[in-house]
Amino acid sequence: MRLFWNTKYDFIKLGRAALIFSAVVIVASLLFLVIHGGPNLGIDFTGGVKADVQTNRKVALSDLETIRNDLDVEIHSVGRAERELLIQSKGLGEADDIAKAIVDTRKDGEFKSIKDVVLIEGVTLSREELERVFTTRKLSKDEARGSTQLININEASYENIRERVQQLLVDSVVSQIRTSLDEVFDNPTDVGDKTNLNSIETWEALYDAFEQLMAEENALATADAVVELRRLEGLTGETVLLDTLDSVVKKADLNKTAENKLRSNFYVSTYIVRGTENIGPRVSTDLKRLALQAMLLASVGMLIYIWIRFNFRSGLVAIIAVIHDLIITVAIITLAGIEINLTVIAGLLTVAGYSVNDTIVTYDRIREDDRQNLKESYPELLNRAINENLARTIVTGLSSLIALIVLFFVGGEALRGFSLTLIVGIVVGTYSSIYVAAALLKEWFGMFGATKMGSGLQTLKNMSGKEDKKKPGKGKKPKKKK
């Protein structure tokens, strides 16, 4: 970039003020996170239930507010057509508490009926819910081998009880979600034994269902009509739901007999739950541990790499800059309401790599410039290295930010947290590579190094904290003549 070619900005002059500013921002970020109760941990780390819902009309803001008021969930409309919902209900940690209460009470004696379990303090499940999976009677050999879903609660292990209770909690949450969606989207509930036509996703399944009710030509025409109306074989992947059966009758040009068969055996729902996902407390705890391990191992690996390539001091300064970037980035995305999930963790690791890479490029330039053996002070050397890399830093940062900003606005809800994490991280990382890493090197050098740079060898020794050993014979006082 010609605009930043051969610049001579004095970045190091503001180094001490920048370090004070960064320290204030980090303290403010940590205080905010403490007051906030920590980052907004997503369902990956808290456990819970996630439901993917598709509706037959555009989701209004009033729909979202109604569902939030009915249920303690987080809900977002996703997709360009805004006909999809992502509903998350956090917290399956209750399963651990219930299982522990059951096992502790069982130490006083076996349960004689499930009613005894319901009476335990802390058990929030109803008798009907518990009886779906637990029993107090002795199971037959076939039942004990798993031919039924029942298990004897007096013989079950803590882990088995917790898993069963967790599934009951998940079923309860999904049932509550469906009840709320039925009311918001006026879903037909009195359908008897009819099949939901919006729940059949392939042409083959549609044809098999219609062939049993009507003539072959009508079955073919009806299957083709549903596939075309729902865009089941479209290249965009954006399927839609049928509003009524009238559109199918008209599209397939059905006779009265075939139409009656269709209406008496099928109905169309106003929404479908395309999938549910539940993450238990044990899995979420493991994910937390693995995420922390990933961050720690990445930091240690980068420290060792920079230590080998440059010196220990440079590696330590680079890691301090990375920690600075991550703390501020986490605070900003928490303030923006972004959840910390596995995708955001990937973004944070990317930010760490980007920040270190930017710092390493500056280190390389410092070493190359110092080898030229110019008679300049260490702050002047740092300034020259930063200025020589300025065009590269700005081009790399801006090109990355342009792509990420586009991704933030058009990438959908699933990529919003990841893209915002990288946007914030790149801005903060670029700042830290100039004003934190370089400023720390200058301050450290001022405390442990010489003020003037004699040679490239002297610079490397000073940066590694080593003093130049005096050569024999130099610095000795001349002997007095007798």
- Per-residue confidence at 310, pLDDT binned at 50, 70, 90? confident
* pLDDT of 144 higher than 80: no
**Partners of 137 in the beta sheet?**
none
Q: What is the pLDDT of residue 206?
A: 93
Q: What is the pLDDT of residue 167?
A: 85
DSSP per residue, 293-326:
HHHHHHHHHHHHHHHHHT-HHHHHHHHHHHHHHH
pTM score, two decimals? Answer: 0.67
Q: Percent of the chain scored above 90 by pLDDT?
A: 30
8 A C-beta contact, residue 397 and residue 430: yes
Measured CA distances, 237 to 54, 80, 231, 234, 387 (Å): 13, 12, 8, 6, 48
* pLDDT of 285 higher than 80: no
Q: What is the pLDDT of residue 78?
A: 77
Three-state DSSP state, 272: strand
Average pLDDT, the chain: 83
Q: What is the mean pLDDT of the segment spanning 410-422? A: 85
* pLDDT of 461 higher than 70: no
- Per-residue confidence at 437, pLDDT binned at 50, 70, 90? confident
Compute how many other C-beta atoms are within 10 angstroms of the C-beta atom of residue 200: 21
Q: Is the dihedral of CA 144, 146, 150, 156 positive or negative?
A: positive
* pLDDT of 266 higher than 60: yes
Q: Where are the domain boundaries for CATH 1.20.1640.10 in the chain?
A: 2-41+280-463
- Per-residue confidence at 204, pLDDT binned at 50, 70, 90? very high
Structure tokens at 109: 């004696």
Tell me the per-residue pLDDT of 19-76, one tens digit each, with 9 for 90 and over.
899 999 999 999 999 998 888 887 777 778 888 999 999 998 889 889 988 888 888 8
Q: What is the mean pLDDT of the segment spanning 311-332? A: 88
- Per-residue confidence at 265, pLDDT binned at 50, 70, 90? very high
- Per-residue confidence at 313, pLDDT binned at 50, 70, 90? confident
Range scoring the smallest mean pLDDT among 162-166, 206-210, 299-303: 299-303
Tell me the per-residue pLDDT of 111-130, one tens digit each, with 9 for 90 and over.
999 999 999 988 888 899 89
Tell me the per-residue pLDDT of 209-218, one tens digit each, with 9 for 90 and over.
999 999 999 9
Residue type, 134: F
Q: What is the pLDDT of residue 448?
A: 63
* pLDDT of 456 higher than 60: no
Long-range contacts, stretch 31-40, CB < 8 angstroms, 24+ apart? 32/331, 32/334, 32/335, 33/330, 33/331, 33/334, 36/334, 39/330, 39/333, 39/334, 39/340, 40/334, 40/337, 40/338, 40/339, 40/340
* pLDDT of 293 higher than 70: yes
**Partners of 70 in the beta sheet?**
none
Q: What is the pLDDT of residue 457?
A: 37
Q: What is the mean pLDDT of the segment spanning 213-238? A: 86
Q: Radius of gyration of the chain from Cα atoms?
A: 33
CATH no. for 2-41+280-463? 1.20.1640.10
